[in-house]
Amino acid sequence: MCSLASFLAIEGTNFGTILASKPKSLSSSSMMSSQAHLNCKMHFYPRKRAGVSVAVSVSVSASVEIDGGNSMPVSGLVFQPFEEVKNEAFVAPVAPQVSIARQRFTDECEAAINEQINVEYNNSYVYHAMFAYFDRDNIALKGLAKFFKDSSEEERTHAEMLMEYQNMRGGRVKLHSIMNPPSEFDNAEKGDALYAMELALSLEKLTNEKLLSLHKVADRCNDPQLADFIESKFLDEQVEAIKKISDYVSQLRRVGKGHGVWHFDQSLLLEGEAAV
C-alpha cells in the first residue's frame, strides 16, 4: 500500500527509505491496458523533537502492461507507434477461421450475446403466434393483430442488431433452439386480449432482466463498449415498452371482455401504435 497516512501513524520509528511498489490498478476500463502499475518511492526522515516522520520526497511513475506482458511507460517518453505495434496483440491473425477484428472481446461476452439473440427470437416467435391468433376470421381483432405483427418484427430486428454487433466485435453468431409458442390465447376469466397483453408484459419484463444480466457480464469482463451498446440501444427502449404494455393492460382491465375490447382494438388500428 502506498499511503502516507499509514506511515505517519507509527510515530518515532526510524523509517529510513521505504519502497512501496505493489501494483495497483489505475483504471479498469482502459482500452489499451490490461494492468496498470503505480510505483511510489518515498523517503522518510524522522524529526527527533516532534516524534513524527515527514516525507521530504515522493516520486511516482506509472506504466501499463499490454497484452503479451510487455510493460510500456505511459509518461515521460515520446510515443513510438511503430515500436509499440510490434506487440503481438496488434498483429492481424492469418488463420482463416479466426476473426481479424477481434480485440478484448471475451468468450463469456460472446456467449451472452448469443443467449440474448435467442431471447429476442423467442419474443418474436410468441408475438408472431399472437398475430396469427388475432388475425383469424373468428377473432378478427385487426388492431391487436397488427400490433403483435409489428412487435414480432421489432424483436427480430433486435436479434439482428445483436448479430451485427457480434460480428463487429469478431464473435460468432450461434443460433439456439426456440420453443414453439402456444397457438391459443383465449382465457375464460380474462378474455383473449387481456390475456395476451399480460403475457406480452411478462415477456418484456423477462427480457429486461436478461438485458441487465448481459450488461452485468459486460461489466464483469471489463467491456465498456458492450455495456454502452446495451445501454444506448436496448435499455431505454425496453423500459418504454414495459410502460406502454402496462398502460394497455390497465385499459383492457377497465373495458372488460366484450364491446370495450373492440374499441380498444380500433384505437390500436387507427393510432398505428408502434411495436414493442
204 annotated as a binding-site residue: yes
238 annotated as a binding-site residue: yes
Dist CA 140 CA 134 (whole Å): 6
Minimum separation from the CB atom of position 158 to Fe ion (A): 4
Q: Report which of 217, 31, 28 is spatially closest to residue 113, judged by C-alpha positions.
A: 217
Dist CA 191 CA 39 (whole Å): 69
**Count of chain residues binding Fe ion (CB under 5 A):** 5
Candidate ranges 17-25, 118-126, 170-178, 243-251; the one touching Fe ion (CB under 5 A) = 118-126
* Grid cell for residue 41: 518511492
Q: Does position 130 bind Fe ion by CB under 5 A?
A: no
Nearer to Fe ion, 37 or 158 (CB): 158
Q: Does position 276 bind Fe ion by CB under 5 A?
A: yes
Candidate ranges 5-13, 55-63, 91-99, 233-241; the one touching Fe ion (CB under 5 A) = 233-241
* Grid cell for residue 123: 419474443
Within 13 Å of residue 152, how many CA atoms lie on the same side as its CB?
15
160 annotated as a binding-site residue: no
Q: Does position 241 bind Fe ion by CB under 5 A?
A: yes
Using CB under 5 A, which of 158, 169, 210, 215 touches Fe ion?
A: 158
Which H/E stretch holds residue 268? helix 259-271
Minimum separation from the CB atom of position 241 to Fe ion (A): 5
Q: Does position 113 bind Fe ion by CB under 5 A?
A: no
Candidate ranges 48-56, 165-173, 212-220, 236-244; the one touching Fe ion (CB under 5 A) = 236-244
154 annotated as a binding-site residue: no
**Concatenated DSSP letters for 162-221?**
HHHHHHHTT----PPP-PPPPS----TTT-HHHHHHHHHHHHHHHHHHHHHHHHHHHHHT
- For residue 240, the Cα-to-chain-centroid distance in whole angstroms is 17
Nearer to Fe ion, 226 or 276 (CB): 276
Dist CA 213 CA 115 (whole Å): 11
116 annotated as a binding-site residue: no
- Strands laid side by side in the 17-20 sheet: 17-20, 35-46, 53-65, 71-73
Nearer to Fe ion, 202 or 267 (CB): 202
Where along the sequence are the contacts to Fe ion (CB under 5 A)? 120, 155, 158, 241, 276
Binding residues for Fe cation: 120, 155, 158, 204, 238
